[in-house]
Amino acid sequence: MLCSTRPMVIGSIALLLSWLSLTAMAAESPELIESYKPAEPPKALTVEANQLMPEQLKPEPLEPAQRLPGIQLAGSLEADRPISEYLVSEKFDGVRGRWTGERMLTRSGQVIRLPAWFTKGFPTEPLDGELWIARQQFEAISALVRDKDADPERWRAVQFMVFDYPTIDSPFAERYALAVKRYANLSPFLQIIPQWRIQDSQALNAALDEWVAQGAEGLMLHHQAAHYHAGRNGDLVKLKRYQDAEAKVIAYFEGKGKYRGMMGALEVETNEGIRFKLGTGFSDEQRQHPPAIGSTVTYKYYGLTHNGVPRFASFMRVREPL
């Protein structure tokens, strides 16, 4: 993890930084990125708080329902450029939502059934984000998305947390500024995820610890000059105190002692063909009704052994085919 051996000292960070190192942003333009405020994580970004965007970032209106590009995924666990070049945001543990301009899709392209009132006022342009209820409520939002007969009122607890504007062929800092300008106040169910800057790795490590202590899953770093493209993007960094990955269930091992008669551990296999036991992180109910053979589970771990086996792997959840 980034600079784990350096002192954990929060750097002095100005309230609003006076520059964006993109040539498209004029030096005299108002800053659109919030500074780091660890004591009170921002809930929503408003145009009033960030001023209006420069004139050169005001393109002509887009045509309705533009084609949604392929899905972009975080491609790195470590920043390889100066931290000050990244925009930083909370990592929201929700269900990936892809708004096409007309309907919401899952990561795999399945339609999510939303009440008409939920998407009222949503834009006709595609947006990328997370359907999210609250911190540590992944299971609740996952169950709601899968429930085709869910009470529509349950969706009032949900927000579509937007982290990108995929059809704009501009650097990320400009895409973010444009999303704030256009969509920050459209709907109570649509929020543009706040982005801010952190000066260096020491401050970033301290910020990560503080946000995790408040219940956040981690932080996301997006390089200010990165363009949106399908597949893994090395300019998009997923920063957590642990790593997570997925593996296929291939066998069960019976439990011992108080777990006798239940599942004691799973044997799983990664995409790279590495097999290992996954024996912690399960509830008693999950041990009585373990994930099906052939299903995919998500686990967390803390680095790899010299043989490529995840260290201290622990079960997190079954990955549902969304």
Residues carrying an active site annotation? 91
Task: Give residue 212's region: left, alpha or beta (phi > 0; psi -120 to 50).
Answer: alpha
Residue type, position 64, single letter: P
What Rg value do the Cα atoms of the chain yield, rounded?
A: 21
Residues 201, 254: contact at Cβ < 8 Å? no
CA distance linking residue 295 with residue 291, whole number of Å? 7
Query: Helix, strand, coil proportions of the chain in percent (round to 5)?
Result: 20, 25, 55
CA distance linking residue 27 with residue 289, whole number of Å? 60
Which residues are CB-neighbours of 231 under 8 A, at least 6 positions away?
A: 70, 72, 73, 75
CA distances from 170 to 16, 28, 58, 238 (A): 23, 20, 12, 21
Q: How many residues does the chain have?
A: 322
Q: Indicate the helix (H) or strand (E) that contains 205.
A: helix 201-213
Q: Say which DSSP state 257 is in.
A: G
Q: Say which DSSP state 272 is in.
A: T
CA distance linking residue 80 with residue 59, whole number of Å? 32
Task: Give residue 101's region: left, alpha or beta (phi > 0; psi -120 to 50).
Answer: left
Task: Give residue 8's region: left, alpha or beta (phi > 0; psi -120 to 50).
Answer: beta
